[in-house]
Structures are given as C-alpha cells and as structure tokens.
Copies of this chain bind each other. A is one copy, B any other.
Amino acid sequence: MRLLARMILGAMDQPTKHSQRMTSRHVAELSGVSQTTVSRVLSGHPNVSPRTRGRVLQVLEETGYAPNLAARAMRTGATDAIGVVMGSVTNPFYPMLAEALHREISKAQRTMTLWISDGEVTDSGEQGALHAVRERSVDGVIYTTATPDSASLSAAITVGAPLVLINRVIDDVRCDSIVTDGAAGARAAVVHLAELGHERLGMACGPRAVSTTHDREQGFLAGLAAAGLPVETALHYRGDFTHECGRQAFDRLWDAPGGPVTAIFCVNDVIAFGVLDRARERGVDVPGEISVVGYDDTEQAQWSAYRLTTIRQPVAAMAALGVGCLLERVADRTLAPRRELLPAVLVPRASTGPVPS
C-alpha cells in the first residue's frame, strides 16, 4: 500500500503528466479509506470518525487535491458558475457594476462567466448566455442591460433557467429584477435644479425602450410638475448613451428655438461629460451659464474636469441583492419573481449652480 502510494505520488510530481491528475480515488488509496469516505470528508459530512477524518485531511493537504468540478457538476447538476451579461463596458458604470457583482459572486464561492455584447450585434452577449443556459454551463444568469425586444432573453426564460435582471426592468417578464428608483432619482435632480431657480430644463436621454431612460424621463416630468414648471418635450434630446450624444444634446438644447435651457439633466454620466465638454468647447461657463446633472456617479464625475452633480446608484447593494436573488432561485426554482427598488441619492457637486440672472 505504501509503495502504491509512492508510485502515485511520484507520478503526480511529473509536471508533464499533467493530463492525469489527482482524483479522490488516489486520495482514498493514500489514506487507506474508501473513495466514499474521502468524498464525505470533503463535503463535511458528519459521519466520519475524527481519526479517519484527520488522516484524510492530511493526505488532502499533502497532495493539494482539488475535486474535478465537471464531475461534480454532472452529479449535482450545478456548475457553481454564474453568468453576467453586459451590453457595454465603455460606459464606466458597467465596470463598476461588474466589479461589485464579481465581489458578491466570489464571496458566494462561485465563478463569474461574463458576456459582453459586441458593438455590432447588440444581442450577442445574451445569445452567449442563452447558449450556456442550454448547455447547462452556468447555474443562472444576471442580465444588466436587458431590453424588452431581446429574443435571446425570452428564449432563456422559456428554458426555465434562473434569471435576474439588474439595473433594468422589463414588464411582463417572469423573473426577478433589482433596480434603483430612477424616477425618484430624476425627480430629485429636477427638484435640486428648481431650488436653484432653474425653470427651463432640458434632458438628454437614451432610447425610449430602455427602462432606465423611461423611468428617469418619467421622474423628470414628475419633478417638473411638482415644481410647477412647464413640460416642453421639445427639450428632450434623444440619442444613445455616448459622450458624442451628450455633445449633440448640448448643441440642440443650447440652440433651442425658444432660447437656451439653463440646465440639462442627463440620463447617465457619460452623456453629461459630453454635455460639459461641448459647453467647454463653445466657451459656455458651467455652472455660470448652464447647470448639468448626470446619473450613476462614476469615478470620473468627481474629477476636477467635471465635478459633476449626479445621482448615485447603490451599486454594491444592487449586486448583493442580485446575486442573492439568483442563488435563492437556483436553490428553489418555484420562488415567485421578486422586484426590488433601491433608492438613488443626489450627489451635488460644482456642475450645478443658481440660474443665471
């Protein structure tokens, strides 16, 4: 037995013999117990005598054995991998979110599989996730940039995989969703501007179908109503979520037919940076001549180039809730869909000030 042990260990030392690595059976032989017992020790099963456990643990330590996850997955049906779908990583909000999600996923001893949508094929990330769900290579998927018209997403729902929508909601879709209160956030931005005396407000939005844009637009309108200000939909510039969109929004709203706006609320920080940069290019003073509010509170927002007043999303809490929901759902697929609405807070900085007189 000892000799066998040595032979096995010897083979293990060969780095070239990489293809045949330590298995629980090897560990069993080395510890003089059955493979079943090794499995029990590994899983912390109570029915193992302290003596046996000790012996096995020592061999485990010596050999640096780690269970083959594919084999375990085949038995248990769980891969311990969680998928995350992201539509963009150019917008720094998403790396922030990815980092927070990764932290939670690691904390839960899981692995993060990431799909990033291709610029051309917006749906590509979700298609990858759908495929993985079909092949059972992830236990569930967190979508951070879901849109209602995604065929892949609805296919994934049909398959019955555990799914969580984070950052965006879709009506009539049977899965958990974790979002921040975009309407309240936008409303707070408008109230802030109204308090500074602004009466002619513009907004820079993304596509209407995206829930974040929709919610923030509703909040913007609600804020105007609450402040007794008129609604001028002509002052809603609609583009995508880019810096260039912000630049164009500035031009449109500064040169608006009824005269320039005195403040612009942007549906995200990147757009706001575009607005601010365009203002700088045209020599328009911020906040002397125009105030700007963003959304997300990305790291750049506090840089002195921008000092952007913005709405902060509780990214860490979103990630924790999202991963938590998903794992609960993996454990019990019959759970009713959950909807969580987290608060967003206004972070005032130097890009907003009193209305010019």
Contacts and interface: CB of A to CB of B under 8 A. Distances in A.
B81 A89 contact: no
Interface string A47-83: 0000000000000000010111111011001011100
A128 B80 CA distance: 13
A273 B303 contact: yes
Contacts of A92: 90, 92, 95
Given A70-B136, A92-B92, A118-B103, A304 B277 contact: yes
A268 to B, nearest CB: 14
Given A89-B95, A304-B277, A70 B134 contact: no
A273 B273 CA distance: 14
Interface stretch (A108-116, A178-186, A215-223, A320-328): A108-116
B70 A99 contact: no
A305 interface: yes
28 contacts: A16-B160, A16-B334, A18-B333, A64-B134, A66-B134, A66-B135, A68-B74, A69-B135, A80-B137, A81-B113, A89-B89, A89-B99, A90-B92, A90-B95, A92-B95, A95-B95, A98-B114, A98-B116, A102-B114, A102-B115, A106-B124, A111-B113, A111-B137, A243-B299, A277-B303, A280-B305, A281-B304, A300-B300
Top 10 closest pairs, chain A to chain B, by CB = A66-B134, A70-B73, A89-B95, A18-B160, A69-B135, A69-B137, A305-B305, A277-B304, A102-B116, A15-B160
